[in-house]
Structure 1
Amino acid sequence: MADNKNGREAQAQNEERRQRERAIAEELKRADEPEPPVDPTELAYFETELETLEFPATAAEVVATVGDHEIESADETYTVADLLPDTEVESFDSPAEVRARVQRPTVAEAMKRVVAAADEHQSASFGASQRDGYERTFRELQAIDADDDDEGIRAIADWIIEHIHENEKLPGSRDVRREAAEFCRSNGYSVRNDEWLGI
C-alpha cells in the first residue's frame, strides 16, 4: 500500500478487522471449553470471603486465610488448601483471579503439584505466559474426555514434575503441549493440527 493518508487508513482498518477476527476466534474457542464443575453461586460466596484479604495476595496468604473453606464440585469436595499451593511464589491480583483458579478443581490440583515441584528447585521459576500455557493444556486435556477420570491431566502433571526433578528447570510450554498431544493420540483421542494440542 502507498505510504499516504489513504494507505495508512487502509492499514489501520485491516489491523482493526484482524483484531476483531482474533477476538471472535478466541470467544469461539472458549465456548467449546467444558463448564466449570463448581456451582457459580458457591464460587460467588467464596469470592466474598476473599474480600477480607488485601490484594495482591500470595497463594500462601490465601491458604492461611481461607484454606479450610470447602468447595463442592460435581464429583468431590475440596478445600482451598487442596487446590492452591502454600507458597509465596504464586500471587493473585484479585478475588476473581482466585475464583477462576479454583473453579476447575482437577486443573487447580495439577497446577498446585507443578508449582510445588518448581518451588523446590529455585532455578525452575514460572513466567506468567508459561503458567498460562500449562493451565490451558490441562484444560484442553479435561475437555477431550470428561469421563476418563482426568487421567491425562495426572499423566502430564507427573511428566512435568519428573522433568523438573531431572533437569531442575521447567519444560517449555510447547514441550508440555507436545507431550499432551502424544498422550492423547496414544490413548485413542484425535488431536487436530489447528487445536491447542495439535503440535
Structure 2
Amino acid sequence: MPRSAGSPRSSPRTPDPRRTPPATAPSPGTSPTERSYRSLYDAGTGFFRGRDADGEFAPGFDPRAWGGDNVETNAWGMSVGAVHDGHGLAALHGGPGGLGRHLDALFAEPETAEERFGGAYGAVIHEQREARALRSGMCAISNQPAHHIPFMYAFSDRPWRAGRSCTTWPDACSPGRTSARGSPATRTTAR
C-alpha cells in the first residue's frame, strides 16, 4: 500500500472520517484497523495514493509511474493491494462490477517501460521490462507485489477470470516449469 503521513509506530493515528470513504461492505471479520487502508483511496482517481504531512494527496499523480509511494510497482499494481478485504476493495470500486472493470483495465493498460514512467527510481527498472515482455498490462505478474492480482477477480462480478489468469500466467512466467529442467527453484543439485 502507499505510505501514509507519519509512521504507525511513532504516531498512531485514528483515520480522519472526513478522509475515509463512506462505510463499505468489508470482508467478514475485518476490524477497523484492517480497513484503515481506505483512507489512502482517492475516489477521484480510483487509486490508492500517499498523503503528505497535512493529510492531502500528493500532487502530480500518474498511476503508471513506478516507485514513490509504491515499492517495486506503480499505483496500478497497488490498486488491488487490499488482499485481506476483497469485499471492501470491491465496494471502493463501486461494487463487484466496478472491481471487475478496474481489473480488466489493469490488465489492458500496456506497460511500456518508458523512461518517463521510471518515477522515483529515475530509470526503468527490470520489473517494468518484465511486465512489458509478458504483456500482462500493468500487472507485473513476475514480481511479488503482483502475485495476488489475478485472484482479486474472485471478488468481482467475473470470478472465472481468476482461474484463467492463475493458470495462464505461471506458464508465461516460468517456461519449462513442467519440463525436467524446470525453473531454478525446482532443480536439484544431484547428479
TM-score by length of 1: 0.30
Question: Is the radius of gyration larger for structure 1 or structure 2?
Answer: 1
Bigger relative contact order (CA 8 A; separation at least 6): 2
Scaled by the length of structure 2, the TM-score of the pair is 0.31
